[in-house]
C-alpha cells in the first residue's frame, strides 16, 4: 500500500509540474465523467440502443477511412496530370526554356480599369526598348525559390543567412505520392543544380501517414494524419556543412598550469536541419520540446504539399501571402465580433443587477 501511495504521489507531482498535461488529463476526465453520467442515467433498454448507435458510428468511421484512401489515390492520379505544367514551370525558372510572347501576355487589373492613351503607350514602348537595350539579361527567374522562402513566415523562421547562397541553387520542389500498394505517404523532393556545397542533386523528406481509425479509440479519427518523417543524408563538401559550426575552447592542464586550444563541432541553426528530423520511437516518449519541434515539422511538410508547390508563382509575387493574410483577418474579425457580443451581454447583466429587476428570459434573448 505504501508503495502504491508513493507511486500515486509521484504521478501527481509530475502532473502538477506540467500544466498542459494536467489540463489534457482534466479534459479527458471531464469528458469521460460527462459520458458516464449520461449513460448511468439511462434505462438498460436505452443503453443497449445507444451501444448499437456506437457500433454504427464505428462502421461509419471505417467507411470514412476508405474515403480518404480514395482521395489519396485521386491526388496521385491528378499529380501526374499537373506534373507536365510543373516541369515547364521549372524549365522557365531555370532558363532552359524561354516562353513565347503569347504565353507571357497577362492583363493586369490596372490595365483593365483604364487603358493608357495612345501617345503614352508609344512613349512607354520607346522607354521599354531603351531599358531592354541597357538592361543586363538575367537567365530564367533568379532566386525564385529563395524569394518564396524569405517571404513565407513559416519558412523564413528556419532560414539563416548562411543558407541563402545554397538555396540560390534550388531549381524545383516536387511532391511525390506513394503508390497504390504502398503505405500512405508523400515525399518532398528538393532539386538542386550542381553547386560547391554538396554533391546531392536531390534532397528528400518522406512523410508517413496513417488513415485508419485507432482500434482502441475509433471516435478520435479525423482523417489522415502525419505520424513520422524521414530525411536524407547530405553529402557536404569539406568545410561547407552549414548545419554545424566549429568553436574553439581553451583547456588548462590542472597539474602543469599550461593551456591549449581545442576545436570542436557543435550543431548550428540552418534550414538544412529540415533533412535531419527527430526520430520517433514507439518505445520512447518525446519530451515537450521535441513534440513541438516534430509537430512544427509536420505542419511545414503539409504546407509545402498543399500550398507552396501547387501555387509557387503566387507566393513568389506575394499574391498568395495577401490571400493568407485576408483569411487570417476575417477569422480575427469574427473573433472580435464574438468578444464584442460577450461585452454587450456583460453590460446588460450589470444593468439588470443594478436595477434589481431581472428581465424575462424572452427579453434577454432579444
Q: Tell me the per-residue pLDDT of 120-169, one tens digit each, with 9 for 90 and over.
A: 666 666 666 665 555 678 899 999 999 999 999 999 999 999 999 999 99
Q: Angle between the 2-17 and 19-41 helix axes, to the nearest 10 degrees?
A: 110
Whether 74 is in a domain gets the answer yes
The pLDDT value given to residue 22:
46
Whether 48 is in a domain gets the answer yes
The pLDDT value given to residue 10:
44
Whether 7 is in a domain gets the answer no
Cα distance from N-terminal residue to C-terminal residue, the chain: 59
Whether 271 is in a domain gets the answer yes
Instruction: Say how far apart CA 318 and CA 314 lie, in whole Å.
Output: 6
3-state secondary structure of 278: coil
Instruction: Say how far apart CA 39 and CA 34 lie, in whole Å.
Output: 9
Whether 31 is in a domain gets the answer no
Between 43 and 8, residue with greater pLDDT: 43
From 156, 170, 184, 188, select the one nearest 277 (Cα to Cα).
188
Question: Of 104-118, 193-207, 215-229, 274-288, which range is least confident?
Answer: 104-118
Q: Say yes or no to pLDDT of 190 above 90.
A: yes
Q: What is the pLDDT of residues 250-292, one digit of tens each?
A: 777 676 667 777 788 899 999 999 999 988 777 778 788 888 9
* Mean of all residue pLDDT scores within the chain: 80
- Residue listed under C-alpha cell 588548462: 252
Instruction: Say how far apart CA 280 and CA 87 lie, in whole Å.
Output: 34
321-326's contacts with Cβ under 8 Å and 24+ in sequence apart are: 321/151, 321/152
Q: What is the pLDDT of residues 74-118, one digit of tens each?
A: 999 999 999 999 999 999 999 999 999 999 998 765 555 455 555
Q: Say yes or no to pLDDT of 17 above 50.
A: no
Whether residue 223 contacts residue 230, with contact meaning beta carbons closer than 8 Å, is answered with no
Whether 61 is in a domain gets the answer yes
Q: Say yes or no to pLDDT of 308 above 70.
A: yes
Q: Say yes or no to pLDDT of 313 above 90.
A: yes
Contacts of 270 (CB under 8 A, 6+ apart): 158, 160, 162, 163, 242, 243
3-state secondary structure of 230: strand
pLDDT band of residue 353 (cuts 50, 70, 90) is: very low
| Rounded mean pLDDT, 195-202 | 97
Query: 26-43 burial string, b = 16+ CB within 10 Å, else e?
Result: eeeeeeeeeeeeeeeeee
Between 149 and 341, residue with greater pLDDT: 149
Whether 179 is in a domain gets the answer yes
Q: Say yes or no to pLDDT of 242 above 60.
A: yes
The pLDDT value given to residue 125:
64
| Rounded mean pLDDT, 176-190 | 93
Whether 11 is in a domain gets the answer no
| Rounded mean pLDDT, 176-204 | 95
The dihedral built from the CA positions of residue 178, 179, 180 and 182, taken in this order, carries a sign that is negative
The pLDDT value given to residue 311:
96
The C-alpha cell of 92 is what? 522557365
- Quote the percentage of the chain above a pLDDT of 90: 48
CATH number at residue 90: 3.30.1120.90
Q: Which domain holds residue 305?
A: 36-120+140-215+224-325
Q: Say yes or no to pLDDT of 208 above 90.
A: yes
In sequence order, which ranges of 95-135 are alpha helices (DSSP H)? 101-104, 109-113, 118-134
The pLDDT value given to residue 48:
92
The tally of domains found in the chain comes to 1
Amino acid at each position: 500500500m505504501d508503495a502504491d501511495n508513493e507511486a500515486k504521489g509521484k504521478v501527481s507531482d509530475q502532473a502538477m509540474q506540467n500544466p498542459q498535461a494536467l489540463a489534457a488529463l482534466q479534459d479527458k476526465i471531464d469528458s469521460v465523467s460527462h459520458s458516464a453520467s449520461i449513460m448511468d442515467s439511462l434505462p438498460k433498454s436505452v443503453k443497449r440502443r445507444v451501444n448499437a448507435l456506437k457500433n454504427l458510428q464505428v462502421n461509419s468511421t471505417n467507411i470514412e477511412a476508405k474515403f480518404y484512401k480514395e482521395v489519396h489515390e485521386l491526388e496521385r492520379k491528378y499529380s501526374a496530370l499537373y506534373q507536365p505544367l510543373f516541369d515547364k514551370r521549372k524549365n522557365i525558372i531555370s532558363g532552359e526554356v524561354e516562353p513565347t510572347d503569347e504565353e507571357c501576355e497577362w492583363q493586369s487589373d490596372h490595365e483593365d480599369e483604364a487603358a493608357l492613351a495612345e501617345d503614352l503607350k508609344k512613349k512607354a514602348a520607346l522607354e521599354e526598348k531603351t531599358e531592354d537595350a541597357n538592361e543586363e539579361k538575367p537567365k530564367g527567374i533568379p532566386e525564385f525559390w529563395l524569394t518564396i522562402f524569405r517571404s513565407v513566415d513559416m519558412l523564413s523562421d528556419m532560414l539563416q543567412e548562411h543558407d541563402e547562397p545554397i538555396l540560390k541553387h534550388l531549381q524545383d520542389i516536387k511532391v511525390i505520392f506513394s503508390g497504390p500498394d504502398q503505405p500512405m505517404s508523400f515525399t518532398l523532393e528538393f532539386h538542386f543544380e550542381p553547386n560547391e556545397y554538396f554533391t546531392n542533386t536531390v534532397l528528400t523528406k518522406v512523410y508517413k501517414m496513417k488513415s485508419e481509425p485507432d482500434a482502441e479509440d475509433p471516435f478520435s479519427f479525423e482523417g489522415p494524419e502525419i505520424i513520422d518523417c524521414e530525411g536524407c543524408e547530405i553529402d557536404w563538401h569539406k568545410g561547407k556543412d552549414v548545419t554545424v559550426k566549429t568553436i574553439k575552447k581553451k583547456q588548462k592542464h590542472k597539474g602543469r598550469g599550461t593551456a591549449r586550444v581545442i576545436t570542436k563541432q557543435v550543431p548550428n541553426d540552418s534550414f538544412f536541419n529540415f533533412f535531419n528530423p527527430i526520430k520517433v520511437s514507439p518505445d520512447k516518449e518525446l519530451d515537450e520540446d521535441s513534440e513541438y519541434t516534430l509537430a512544427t515539422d509536420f505542419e511545414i511538410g503539409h504546407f509545402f504539399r498543399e500550398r507552396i508547390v501547387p501555387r509557387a508563382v503566387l507566393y513568389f509575387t506575394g499574391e498568395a501571402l495577401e490571400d493568407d493574410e485576408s483569411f487570417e483577418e476575417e477569422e480575427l474579425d469574427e473573433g472580435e465580433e464574438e468578444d464584442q457580443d460577450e461585452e454587450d451581454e456583460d453590460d446588460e447583466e450589470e444593468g439588470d443587477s443594478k436595477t434589481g429587476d431581472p428581465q424575462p428570459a424572452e427579453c434577454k434573448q432579444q
